[in-house]
Amino acid sequence: MKQCYFCTNNMNYLDYKNVEMLKRFLNPHARIMGHNRTGICSRHQRKLAMSVKHARFLGLLPYIAR
């Protein structure tokens, strides 16, 4: 079982403006990868999803990539 990236790095706040960090958890089609692929705990997976959606709304991340 993988360790949660955010728990091991003691990151309590996921910043939606940190696009490079958020891109690590998106697949090539710009979809959010599941926690079983990334190893993120459920609490941080929910925070990650909200941060990605916020960044998409502001135009920092694409909704889809071709």
Query: Please, are residues 26 and 33 in contact by the beta-carbon 8 Å criterion?
Result: yes
Task: Return d(Cα 56, Cα 11) in angstroms, integer.
Answer: 21
Q: In degrees rounded to 5, what are phi and psi of residue 32?
A: -75, 125
**Does residue 44 contact residue 4 with C-beta atoms inside 8 Å?**
yes
pLDDT at 2: 77
Give me the pLDDT at residue 47, please. 95
Q: Which pLDDT tens digits describe the chain residue by residue (66 residues)?
A: 678 999 999 988 899 999 999 999 999 999 999 999 999 999 999 999 999 999 999 999 999 987
Q: 35: Cβ–Cβ under 8 A, 6 or more apart, which residues?
A: 41, 42, 45
One-letter identity of residue 42: S
CATH 1.20.58.2050 corresponds to the domain 5-57: no
